[in-house]
Structure 1
Amino acid sequence: MFKWTNFFRGFAMGVTETVPGVSASTIAMLMGIYEKLLGSLSDITKGNIKRALGFLIPLGIGMVFALLITAKFIKYLLAEHPIPTMFLFVGLVVGILPFLWRSAHAETNKRFKPYHYVLIGVSFTLMALTSLISEPVETVITDFNAGTYIYLFFSGVLASMALVLPGISGALVLMVLGAYYTAISALDSFHIPVIAAIGLGVAFGVLFTSRVIRYFLKTYTQATYSIMLGLVAGSILVIAPSSLPDTFLYGLVTFFTFLAGLVTALTFGRAERS
């Protein structure tokens, strides 16, 4: 039976997947369906397909619907107002860090040990270094060949972690990999081959990483959250614009977009912990 409540939950999750900063899994937590999402994904790999699809189909349709609707708007903002839009994303990323920190301690009721801070530092550095090897974030791929589609497929695989790993945004992963603008452009123009390549990668990645991530979150909770904290913090250096506003008014708008992203993420985090 098609449940419209799950469709609207999926729509909310899909909206976040066009925005580098807030992950779909975090939204799933806020709506109280995170454990059920992981369980349903695990059911597919265990053969309990009918039970899993009853939950995942309306959720997935809602996400796809949201992606198609919001892609054009996000593309417009990135093309016409890139600096304030990117600072909105930076605000979202900064605001999600306290949520991850609290979650790591709340799940275990223990403080971080020294090696947890080492994990944060290492993962932060690795993520920050991707800014040196990834293509400019504004690049849209126009020359498609077999290698390009393989690259987009594996970008989708990595981005799929956002569906099962709280705090990591699929859009952010695509941005770090240099595939974000290509994905947004494909959604806007309905470029089926690109959508299919990334979509199949996401589907493949979700099925084969959900059980692994679920295991690590349950068995090595603080270590997993430590790595997540480092990756998310390091991504700030990757997505932050290289240029600043050139007028006072534009700078003021940029400040308020950053503040809007920050407050939004902090509000989500407080709601989840309440």
Structure 2
Amino acid sequence: MRIIQFFKGMAMGTVETVPGISSSTVAMLFGIYENIIDALHHLTTKKWKESLRYLLPILLGMAFGMGISVIVVHYLLENYNVQVHALFMGCILGMLPLIWQSGKKIGDHYQIKHFFIMALFFALILLLNFSLEETHFQIVNATAFDYMYLFLAGFLASIALVSPGISGALILMILGVYETALDALVQLDFKIIFVVALGVLVGILVTSKLIRYLIHTFRTASHAAILGLLSGSFFILFPKGSFTALEFIVSLFILLITTFAVYRFSFRD
């Protein structure tokens, strides 16, 4: 069981360094998203040992997956950018029916207010991606302010980590520290890694409680928000720039196959 959790965590970590798709999205695909949110919540309760046992193989897998992602995924994005984005877009598209259905498990039906929530979060994620100006935050001789900013960036990125539809990497990119964090991982700059990771950890412990409350109290509305976020991230992942007719055909084939495979996997039970 733990080895399965490790591989699920590895898949989550692999996508987390890619701007546009969240590890939480992958967790939803595997059906463990709400379990993770519950476990994160219980880390600050008497059930922390049980929660830590559940989370540990997932976290180790994520760390391993991120290590692979830094090398492999970025190589693929550099050389097969259109095809890789088509793969991720297919993952999102194939999972939308599951999220839609999950929001109605308690017998509720989507109402006008829920469609408004979908539209709102759909617009917000597009606004976040296309309207905010990307900055570049380079560190030469790090000051106390630099480390405070890196901590804040990690904290904000953690919100995306526990919210399906938007990646922590995208938040770091908008804040201008994505390349800094990536270079730190490659060069094993443990000071920068520690500060960003600490910000992420604190943010996850805080945010997971809010997410858990919303999912358990306003399940249909929460899933409507997730649907909006995921739908918006589908368009964010659309490859920028020009591509050849062959790339388009191959990518379309990858998109269709991935969508079908994820859809069947999502409803495997």
Residues 33-42 or 206-215, more deviating = 33-42
**Secondary structure, aligned partner of 2:267:** helix
Report the CA distance shift for 1:250/1:185 in structure 2 as closer, same or farther (over 3 A): farther
Residues of 2 paired with 1:32 and 1:219: CA distance?
A: 19
Number of the residue aligned with 2:87: 88
Number of the residue aligned with 2:188: 190
Number of the residue aligned with 1:208: 206
1:101 corresponds to 2:100: yes
1:235 corresponds to 2:236: no
Residues 145-154 or 56-65, more deviating = 145-154
Report the CA distance shift for 1:98/1:198 in structure 2 as closer, same or farther (over 3 A): farther
**Secondary structure, aligned partner of 1:46:** coil
Count of aligned pairs between the two proteins = 267
Give CA deviations for 1:31-73 in whole Å, capped at 9, x if unaligned: 5544543332222222543333233223212221121123211
- 1:157 aligned to which of 133, 155, 158: 155
Residues 77-86 or 15-24, more deviating = 15-24
Number of the residue aligned with 2:43: 44
Q: Structure 1: 5+ residue runs without aligned partners?
A: none
Report the CA distance shift for 1:109/1:148 in structure 2 as closer, same or farther (over 3 A): farther
Residues of 2 paired with 1:53 and 1:74: CA distance?
A: 29
Q: Structure 2: 5+ residue runs without aligned partners?
A: none
Number of the residue aligned with 2:120: 122
Residues of 2 paired with 1:186 and 1:253: CA distance?
A: 35
The answer to whether the 8 A contact 1:161-1:168 is kept is no
Shift of 1:219: 0.7
Shift of 1:222: 1.2
Residues of 2 paired with 1:117 and 1:59: CA distance?
A: 33
The answer to whether the 8 A contact 2:20-2:236 is kept is no
TM-score normalised per structure 1: 0.78
After superposition, residues 1-274 of structure 1 pair within 5 angstroms as 3-19=2-18, 23-29=22-28, 31=30, 33-105=32-104, 107-135=105-133, 142-143=138-139, 145=142, 149-161=147-159, 164-166=162-164, 168-171=166-169, 174=172, 180=178, 182-245=180-243, 247-271=244-268, 274=269
Shift of 1:162: 5.4
Residues of 2 paired with 1:154 and 1:111: CA distance?
A: 38
Report the CA distance shift for 1:4/1:100 in structure 2 as closer, same or farther (over 3 A): closer
Give CA deviations for 1:135-155 in whole Å, capped at 9, x if unaligned: 46xx87544655555454344
Counterpart amino acid of residue 256 in structure 1: F
**Secondary structure, aligned partner of 2:215:** helix
**Secondary structure, aligned partner of 1:87:** helix
Counterpart amino acid of residue 59 in structure 1: I
Counterpart amino acid of residue 76 in structure 1: Y
Residues of 1 paired with 2:30 and 2:234: CA distance?
A: 26
**Secondary structure, aligned partner of 2:103:** helix
Residues of 2 paired with 1:269 and 1:174: CA distance?
A: 30
Give CA deviations for 1:209-234 in whole Å, capped at 9, x if unaligned: 11211111011111111112222222
Residues 161-170 or 74-83, more deviating = 161-170
Residues of 2 paired with 1:79 and 1:151: CA distance?
A: 29
Residues 173-182 or 109-118, more deviating = 173-182
- Percent identical among aligned pairs is 37
Give CA deviations for 1:6-31 in whole Å, capped at 9, x if unaligned: 43443233234345566444544555
Counterpart amino acid of residue 204 in structure 1: V
Shift of 1:257: 3.8
**Secondary structure, aligned partner of 2:240:** coil
Counterpart amino acid of residue 206 in structure 1: I
RMSD of the alignment, in Å?
3.3
